[in-house]
């Protein structure tokens, strides 16, 4: 962004605030993003008065029109008061809704940077991109806690820790909003799984909610001064987020003093009157419930006060006036739609987030002078996988794949050999040879019963990628029965896929091996079976289509034969193999949960390639932890590259070849297996406990939704809080990441005593004790052994990313505020500090804290 433009945006904002009674407070807000103000500063009395005057000019109908969206991504205009339509865009990894964009390393990758300054820089870049597209509301950041690794949207969110999320979200928002664009923190709240996300009712106690699931939103409001909040799809303790009195009125607008706009997620509203009375200001994307028909009647009969509607409109006007949206075009043609400056931010984010998890025998960094032939193998090697799927999916102008990134870096003297290594899914479906033929029986009911129409296709290859389709109103069920004979002894992969809202099961010799429930989106499912040569298995798939047509695919393939011959050949001649595995937009996405195991075939690929070339570096793309058990001990190095955005290939190449130290640190605990995860038993709905929700929408037949219930009985025992409290260990702990250099911590200084509620300065030294430059993330955890309430053994309360030259030492000082020592007292319904002993621990992960000191709080 040109400085002159930056100055002009600031001057608009400041001119509106200058000279006003609360100017000083406002400047605290605008001038220092890290301000620890306790509640958002109100707008100037002038803005407040002008906003109220605008509201007064409107009829009730006009006001109601303003609290419902239009054309999917806009608010309505009112030309009479000069109010334009306000434009929105997603969000998490780039300003994506309006054509190609710059795709950044956002969400979990941002959290892996542990870098507040970068969070602000990223926010500024997104703000500039938004202005270049005339966007008023950026529909991000997402800050839901990464409670479990299978949540399909973790990659869009940040970390498993509320403090880390809060520390990054505030500067991010400050960055976005500094460009005259409103940020929208989402999804408020307890939206920690995609599984049946519209309908699950999450039950959690207040302490768990306050300590784990709300602090990032609280920081967004109180420290980031976010302009907008997006309510989530799910229900929380019995009521949908969009009509949740506790969350919206008591906490957000009450206790936290939020003065901005509370909007719904897209089609997350279920009751116009309840939403209007419980804090929802804007129903997106259209007024299905908060509309004229419902609300003008409700105002007339007194169930909704006109003042309640006025307040919603007032909130929108505040933002419009604060940013000058009535007076200047939001589209800023002095910004670039595509720019090298943005690409630099994208590269920086990718470089800062790449996390090295295993590096046996100093396999990395690779020595460019010694590598003559490099094989790059795997489904994530090309094309570039910049992000996960769903509404955040950003089509980038110039995505750099791992193949092209490495090729560009090593130059013409190194042979770069690329192979995907695995077949495409459709190839498995059509190439499966069903030994005794295949029968497709279509029943005119949903129970696979009675007479069926039969066909004998050659294969089951109807899978299509689309999410949506016209709903199938005719009851149908399709059963496929087939036999498969193993041509040789070995492991066989049974692979199946269907589209959203389909349900299927697959059984082998009468035993069910796969079930895909009928929930929002879907990803391919697989199972492995051991077979000996000549053995025949009977495969039966029961498929219930949700949409018109048939979108089901099924195949069986020998795992060894599935690995492409060219991949094995390339691996055998290469000095080093970069094996790029992981997820992509079709396997990790909004709308469905992902598997903890790598997508189908990839475990077998790693095993096969590592067997050919032991000098194999596994590079993973995805939003969190995954199952490495089949091969981790067979490869010397593992690099977690998150979703690295469009410059991922360049960044990965630079890290692999030691041009940049791997400075990312895990923002989540990395489990061995999904079953090991502390939230595993509390993730899926309680079986048999579904209830009904009767929803009436004007001019539509009433719908009875099934409401499944998920109980957060893991309470505070999420991620490292569980591991450190129980003394058990995940595969890699929260905060962990290797570097090419080494660091040490010393000279911890903590006062012996402190008064309850005071700020406690903690200082220590971090030294780069190795031979190359690098960055360490110094982490402070606090333990409260004398607390009256049972607390997690330790909790993150401070961190600092420290860049150090070889041999350099930096003195770090971090202030711990009252919240660092507090917990939520369920009786007082407030934060409390129990005086007594605390332990301050300093180190480089939740498990490695070499420095510690006692502190008595009086």
Asked whether the beta carbons of 168 and 801 are under 8 A apart, the reply is no
Site string for ligand BGC, 221-260 (x = CB under 6 A): ----------------------------------------
Q: What residues contact 377, with CB distance under 8 A and at least 6 apart?
A: 418, 419, 420, 421, 567, 570, 571, 577, 578, 579, 580, 605, 609
> Can you tell me which of 104, 266, 799, 838 binds ligand BGC, judged by CB under 6 A?
266
Cα 54 to Cα 706: distance, rounded to the nearest angstrom:
43
Nearer to ligand BGC, 92 or 768 (CB): 92
Q: How far is the CB of 836 from ligand BGC (least distance, A)?
A: 43
User: What is the DSSP track for 688-750?
Assistant: T--EEEEE--TTS--EEEEE-EEE-TTTT--THHHHHHHT---SB-TT--B-SS-EEEEEEE-
Break the chain down into helix, strand, coil percent, rounded to 5: 30, 25, 45
Interacting residues of 688 by C-beta distance below 8 A, sequence separation 6+: none
Q: How far is the CB of 97 from ligand BGC (least distance, A)?
A: 7
Instruction: Kindly determine how many residues on this chain lie close enough to bind ligand BGC according to the rule CB under 6 A.
Output: 8
**Three-state secondary structure call for residue 10:** helix
The least CB distance from residue 186 to ligand BGC, in Å, is 6
**Tokens found for residue 823:** 């917990």
Taking a C-beta distance cutoff of 8 angstroms, is the pair 333, 5 a contact? Answer: no
- d(CA 810, CA 765) in angstroms, rounded, equals 6
The minimum distance between CB 140 and ligand BGC, in angstroms, equals 7
Whether the Cβ atoms of residue 26 and residue 44 lie closer than 8 Å to each other: yes
Give whichever of 390 and 719 is closer to ligand BGC, judged by the CB atom. 390
Cβ closest to ligand BGC, residue 89 vs residue 277:
89
Closer of 91 and 608 to ligand BGC (Cβ): 91
Helix axes 648-656, 402-410, angle to 10 degrees: 50
Q: How far apart are CA 620 and CA 354, in angstroms?
A: 10
Taking alpha carbons only, the member of 801, 759, 810, 761 closest to residue 779 is 801
Strand 691-695 relative to strand 703-707, pairing: antiparallel
Cα–Cα distances in Å, from 323 out to 22, 43, 222, 226, 680? 17, 11, 19, 13, 45
In whole angstroms, what is the distance from residue 230 CA to residue 116 CA? 23
Catalytic status, residue 227:
no
Footprint of ligand BGC on 524-563 (CB under 6 A)? none
- Reference 269, options 245, 255, 290; nearest CA is 290
Q: Measuring CA to CA, which residue among 749, 779, 746 is closest to residue 761?
A: 749
* Distance of closest approach, residue 394 Cβ to ligand BGC, in angstroms: 12
Q: Which is nearer to ligand BGC, 186 or 660 (CB)?
A: 186
- In angstroms, rounded to a whole number, what is the distance separating the alpha carbons of residues 844 and 854? 19
Residue 591 CB, nearest distance to ligand BGC (Å)?
8
Contacting ligand BGC within 172-201 (CB under 6 A): 186
Q: How far is the CB of 653 from ligand BGC (least distance, A)?
A: 32
Prior bond to 544 cis, omega within 30?
A: no
Decide whether 263 or 544 has the Cβ nearer to ligand BGC.
263
Tokens of 272: 């116009």
Site string for ligand BGC, 62-101 (x = CB under 6 A): ----------------------------xx----------
Window 378-417: residues binding ligand BGC (CB under 6 A): 391
Q: C-beta of 73: minimal distance to ligand BGC in Å? A: 7
Nearest Cα residue to 270 out of 229, 312, 237, 240? 240
Task: Please name which of 530, 518, 429 lies closest in space to residue 480, comparing C-alpha atoms.
Answer: 429
Report helix angle 3-17 to 23-31, nearest 10.
Answer: 150
Q: Which run of H or E residues covers position 582? A: strand 576-582
Q: Which is nearer to ligand BGC, 154 or 391 (CB)?
A: 391
Tell me the closest approach of the beta carbon of residue 167 to ligand BGC, in angstroms: 22
Kindly report the number of other CB atoms within 10 A of residue 612's CB atom.
18
Strand order in the sheet with 460-461: 460-461, 553-558, 490-497, 525-531
Q: According to CB under 6 A, which residues from 286 to 305 bind ligand BGC?
A: none
User: From the CB of 265, what's the least distance to ligand BGC, in Å?
Assistant: 5
Choosing from 90, 227, 231, 265, which is the catalytic residue?
Answer: 265
**Is position 281 an interface residue for ligand BGC (rule: CB under 6 A)?**
no
The contact pattern for ligand BGC, residues 556-595, with x = CB under 6 A and - = no contact, is ----------------------------------x-----
Tokens of 822: 């507090």
Strands 774-783 and 795-804, sheet pairing: antiparallel
Residue 57 has a CB neighbour count (10 Å cut-off) of 10
β-bridge partners, 618: 579, 638
Residue closer to ligand BGC (CB basis): 69 or 601: 69
Residue number, 141 or 737, with CB nearest to ligand BGC: 141
Q: What is the largest CA-CA distance in the chain?
A: 87
Three-state secondary structure call for residue 819 = helix
The least CB distance from residue 143 to ligand BGC, in Å, is 12
**Does residue 139 touch ligand BGC according to CB under 6 A?**
yes
Helix then strand count (H, E) for the chain reads 20, 39
**Does 265 sit near ligand BGC (CB under 6 A)?**
yes
Report in angstroms how near the CB of residue 522 gets to ligand BGC at its nearest. Answer: 16
Output 286 or 725, the one with its CB closest to ligand BGC.
Answer: 286
Query: Phi and psi of 147, rounded to 5°?
Result: -70, -40
Q: Which is nearer to ligand BGC, 186 or 794 (CB)?
A: 186
Q: Which is nearer to ligand BGC, 230 or 851 (CB)?
A: 230
Distance CA 223, CA 169 (A): 9
Any contact of residue 330 with ligand BGC (CB under 6 A)?
no
Q: How far is the CB of 266 from ligand BGC (least distance, A)?
A: 4
Query: Which residues lie across from 58 on neighbouring strands?
Result: none
178, 315, 577 from 10: Cα distances, Å: 7, 21, 50
Considering the complex, state which of residue 265 and residue 714 has its C-beta at the smaller distance from ligand BGC.
Answer: 265
Bridge pairing between strands 88-89 and 637-640: unpaired
Residues 710-739 that bind ligand BGC (CB under 6 A): none
Contact residues: ligand BGC, CB under 6 A: 90-91, 139, 186, 265-266, 391, 590
**Catalytic positions:** 265
């Amino acid at each position: 962004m040109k400085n002159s433009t930056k100055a002009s945006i600031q001057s608009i904002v400041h001119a509106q605030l200058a000279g006003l009674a609360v100017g000083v407070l406002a400047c605290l807000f605008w001038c220092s993003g890290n301000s620890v103000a306790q509640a958002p500063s109100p707008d100037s009395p002038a803005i407040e008065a002008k906003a109220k005057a605008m509201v007064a000019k409107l009829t009730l109908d006009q006001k109601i029109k303003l609290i419902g969206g239009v054309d999917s991504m806009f608010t309505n205009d009112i030309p009479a008061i000069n109010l334009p339509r306000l434009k929105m865009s997603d969000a998490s990894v780039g300003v994506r809704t309006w054509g190609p964009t710059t795709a950044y390393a956002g969400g979990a990758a941002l959290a892996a940077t542990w870098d507040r300054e970068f969070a602000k820089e990223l926010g500024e870049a997104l703000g500039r991109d938004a202005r270049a597209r005339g966007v008023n509301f950026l529909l991000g950041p997402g800050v839901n806690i990464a409670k479990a690794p299978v949540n399909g949207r973790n990659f869009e969110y940040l970390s498993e820790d509320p403090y880390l999320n809060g520390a990054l979200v505030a500067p991010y928002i400050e960055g976005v909003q500094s460009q005259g664009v409103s940020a929208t923190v989402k999804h408020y709240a307890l939206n920690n799984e995609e599984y049946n996300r519209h309908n699950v009712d999450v039950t959690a106690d207040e302490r768990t909610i306050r300590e784990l699931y709300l602090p990032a939103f609280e920081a967004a409001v109180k420290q980031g001064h976010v302009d907008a909040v997006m309510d989530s799809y799910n229900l929380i303790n019995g009521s949908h987020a969009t009509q949740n009195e506790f969350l919206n009125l008591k906490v957000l607008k009450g206790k936290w003093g939020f003065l901005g706009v509370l909007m719904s997620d897209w089609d997350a509203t279920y009751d116009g009157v309840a939403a209007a009375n419980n804090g929802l200001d804007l129903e997106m994307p259209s007024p299905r419930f908060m509309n004229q028909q419902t609300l003008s009647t409700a105002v007339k009969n007194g169930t909704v006060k006109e003042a309640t509607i006025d307040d919603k409109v007032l909130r929108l006007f505040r933002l419009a006036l604060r940013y000058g949206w009535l007076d200047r075009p939001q589209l800023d043609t002095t910004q670039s739609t595509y720019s090298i400056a943005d690409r630099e931010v994208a590269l920086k984010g990718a470089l800062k987030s790449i996390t090295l998890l295993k590096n046996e025998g100093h396999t990395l960094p690779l020595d460019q002078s010694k590598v003559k032939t490099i094989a790059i193998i795997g489904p994530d090697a090309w094309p570039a996988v910049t992000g996960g799927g769903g509404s955040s999916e950003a089509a980038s102008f110039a995505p750099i794949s791992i193949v092209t990134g490495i090729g560009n870096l090593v130059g013409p003297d190194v042979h770069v050999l690329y192979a995907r290594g695995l077949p495409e899914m459709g190839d498995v479906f059509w190439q499966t040879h069903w030994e005794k033929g295949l029968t497709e029986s279509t029943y005119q009911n949903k129970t696979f019963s009675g007479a069926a129409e039969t066909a004998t296709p050659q294969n089951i290859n109807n899978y299509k990628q689309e999410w949506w389709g016209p709903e199938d109103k005719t009851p149908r069920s399709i059963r496929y029965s087939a036999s498969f004979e193993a041509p040789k002894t070995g492991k066989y992969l049974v692979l199946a896929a269907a589209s959203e809202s389909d349900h299927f099961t697959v059984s082998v010799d009468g035993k069910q091996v796969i079930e895909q429930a009928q929930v929002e989106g879907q990803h391919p499912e697989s199972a492995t079976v051991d077979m000996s040569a000549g053995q025949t298995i009977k495969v039966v798939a029961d498929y219930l289509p949700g949409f018109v047509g048939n979108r089901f695919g099924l195949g069986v393939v020998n795992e060894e034969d599935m690995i492409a011959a060219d991949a094995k050949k390339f691996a055998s001649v290469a000095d080093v193999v970069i094996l790029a595995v992981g997820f992509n937009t079709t396997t990790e996405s909004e709308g469905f949960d992902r598997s903890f195991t790598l997508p189908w075939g990839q475990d077998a690929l790693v095993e096969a390639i590592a067997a050919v070339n032991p000098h194999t570096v596994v590079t993973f793309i995805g939003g969190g932890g995954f199952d490495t058990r089949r091969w981790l001990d067979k490869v010397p190095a593992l690099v977690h590259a998150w979703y690295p955005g469009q410059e991922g290939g360049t960044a990965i190449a630079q890290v692999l070849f030691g041009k940049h130290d791997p400075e990312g640190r895990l923002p989540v605990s990395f489990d061995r297996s999904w079953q090991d995860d502390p939230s595993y038993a509390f993730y899926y709905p309680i079986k048999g406990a579904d209830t009904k929700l009767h929803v009436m929408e004007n001019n539509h037949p009433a719908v009875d939704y099934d409401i499944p219930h998920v109980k957060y009985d893991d309470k505070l025992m999420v991620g490292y809080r569980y591991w450190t409290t129980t003394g058990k260990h995940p595969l890699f702990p929260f905060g962990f990441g290797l570097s090419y250099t080494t660091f040490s911590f010393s000279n911890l200084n903590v006062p012996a005593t402190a008064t309850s509620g005071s700020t406690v300065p903690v200082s220590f030294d971090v030294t780069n004790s190795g031979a190359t430059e690098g960055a360490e993330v110094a982490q402070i955890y606090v333990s409260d052994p004398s607390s009256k309430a049972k607390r997690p053994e330790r909790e993150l309360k401070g961190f600092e990313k420290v860049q150090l030259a070889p041999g350099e030492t930096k003195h770090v000082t971090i202030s711990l505020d009252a919240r660092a020592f507090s917990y939520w007292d369920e009786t007082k319904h407030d934060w409390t500090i129990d005086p007594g002993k605390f332990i301050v621990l300093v180190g480089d992960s939740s498990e490695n804290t070499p420095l510690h000191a006692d502190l008595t709080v009086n």
